[in-house]
Amino acid sequence: MQEEEKQYETVIGLEVHVELSTKTKIFCGCSTRFGAPPNTQTCPVCTGMPGTLPVLNRQVVEYALALGLALHCEVNRYCRFDRKNYFYPDNPQNYQISQLYLPVCYNGEIEIALAGEREEKENSALPEAAGTGRKKKIRIHELHMEEDAGKLVHEENGDSSLVDYNRSGVPLIEIVSEPDMRNAEEAVAYLEKLCMLCRYLGISDGKLQEGSLRADVNLSVRKAGCRTLGTRTEMKNLNSFRAVSRAVAEERRRQIALLEEGKKVIQETRRWDDAKGVSYSIRSKEDAEDYRYFPEPDVPPVVISEKWTEEIRGRLPEFREEKEARYQKEFGLSAYDAGVLTQSKHLAELFEETAVLCGKPKKAANWFMGELLRLLKEKGMEPEKLMFSPKHLADLITAAEQGKINQANAQKVFAEIVERDVEPLSYMKEQRLESLSDEGMLRLAAEEVLAGNPGLVAEFHAGKEKVFGFFVGQIMKKTRGMADPGKVNALLRQLLMRGE
């Protein structure tokens, strides 16, 4: 089968729904807070009561414009909403307010990083790191606004389902790509880039596991070299990058097997079961006419002026690629380090402020790349959850550079900064973690260790260098770990050489 698979090309397009982080829903004032008890964040508008009228949330339009501009899209100066008519228990109105004919943005593109560009270090707590590999542009067909449906909760030990309408009316942006991806790596890289853009813009947390970002994969296969697209299927229920990768591989295999057997691929919607690693058909694929779209009569068209667009453009943040280039030029960081530090906007902001405060960007980068990423991985913690003050880390770096605390103790203090945001200088004093700065006391401790071990001193002079480590350990023990190991080593060498 492997030989047959090489004769086929995979064609992939993605429909990505981004749940926006507005405080209220798209057409009413109900809260969008995640995790509230079922049906406690509803009103007559979002539950589809007769006679109610939707009022568009301006913030939703601005978020859509921001993402559209970040994706280099053209903006429809006149856009409107449409009704997508269908019946399903989680859809109380029996229609969804969406955009079909005049979406807010269209005709954009996004650049993704591929093999060699997304390297990963063992201690990285982040999904990807930049390097110098191949890049590819994926075209964006359109970007439109719509309302989310409710959520069906299926009982585990029963034959009924419950409906939670808290999510009904939560604002979504749907990004529809062109069929420009050819494998799972490209699909995952595309999703990662979209997720990162949303987080940089602050319009969504992009969490697949909480449904903040949901991807539907449209996939078809065709003979290598053929220009005609094959029959596509759409796969839903993909709630992780791993699920997307596995689903693409399995659907490619399934479609090729059908074609090799002389059968046809049916255009349909399939549900992915990640636990079993298979998909199954849930319905035949509908076309636009099946939904009987027509202009939404209760929501006026939106006129987007050039002035409004430019105001949004002026508020766009410095994106990752720009930060990477600036960190390399301004702070002298390597491409890899700059890439890791800019994957999360929050992480980048913490690093940059720390670097400026301590005046040692490379030292700050070392703490972030080493200790911080190690702690994040140990705790299973996302960078966005970090709450420590950059000034506290800058003060610790300065103290370590001035020899006021040794590296081992500095790591202990840093862990407390990450955990509880302690003020480092006060904490060092309270816990007696400051380095022993009195050279006379350090010399006295070293002389006592050497005087108490004349036999080992003789062995050292006879060429047995291994005993040197024993002397260092004993001095550190005498000073309760407060001595600077570098100073201990230098002083010991001086004393031992003098005693030859």
| The three-state (H, E, C) secondary structure of the chain, written as one string | CHHHHCCEEEEEEEEEEEECCCCECCCCCCECCCCCCCCCCCCCCCCCCCCCCCCCCHHHHHHHHHHHHHCCCEECCEECCEEEECCCCCCCCCEEEECCCCCCEEEEEEEEECCCCCECCCCCCCCCECCCCCEEEEEEEEEEEEECCCEEEECCCCCCEEEEHHHCCCEEEEEEECCCECCHHHHHHHHHHHHHHHHHHCCCCCCHHHCCEEEEEEEEEEECCCCCCCCCEEEEEECCHHHHHHHHHHHHHHHHHHHHCCCCCCCEEEEEECCCCEEEEEEECCCHHHHCCEECCCCCCEECCHHHHHHHHHCCCCCHHHHHHHHHHHHCCCHHHHHHHCCCHHHHHHHHHHHHHHCCHHHHHHHHHHHHHHHHHHHCCCHHHCCCCHHHHHHHHHHHHCCCCCHHHHHHHHHHHHHHCCCHHHHHHHCCCCCCCCHHHHHHHHHHHHHCCHHHHHHHHCCCCCHHHHHHHHHHHHCCCCCCHHHHHHHHHHHHHHCC
The structure tokens listed for 447 are: 């002389």
DSSP, residue by residue, 193-254: HHHHHHHHHTS----GGGTSEEEEEEEEEEETT--S----EEEEEE-SHHHHHHHHHHHHHH
Is 83 in contact with 95 (CB distance < 8 Å)? yes
The whole-number pLDDT of residue 452 equals 74
Q: How far apart are CA 176 and CA 163, in angstroms?
A: 28
CA distance to 308, 374, 392, 424, per residue, from 389 (Å): 35, 19, 5, 11
The whole-number pLDDT of residue 440 equals 55
The whole-number pLDDT of residue 285 equals 66
Radius of gyration of the CA atoms of the chain, in A:
30
CA distance to 89, 316, 376, per residue, from 214 (Å): 20, 24, 25
The whole-number pLDDT of residue 407 equals 85
The whole-number pLDDT of residue 471 equals 72
Helical (H) or strand (E) element with 111: strand 105-113
Is 13 in contact with 187 (CB distance < 8 Å)? no
Q: How far apart are CA 221 and CA 255, in angstroms?
A: 7
The model's pTM: 0.84
Give residue 275's region: left, alpha or beta (phi > 0; psi -120 to 50).
alpha
The structure tokens listed for 265 are: 């691929």
Q: Mean pLDDT per 10-residue run, the chain (500 residues)?
A: 76 97 97 94 96 97 98 97 93 94 98 66 44 82 97 82 95 98 96 95 87 92 92 91 95 96 94 93 76 95 97 97 96 95 96 97 96 94 94 95 87 95 93 67 68 72 76 70 69 69
What is the edge-to-edge ordering of all strands in the sheet holding 294-295?
95-98, 82-85, 294-295
Helical (H) or strand (E) element with 495: helix 485-498
- What contacts 485, CB < 8 A, 6 or more positions away? 406, 407, 472, 476
Sequence letter at residue 421 = D
The whole-number pLDDT of residue 415 equals 96
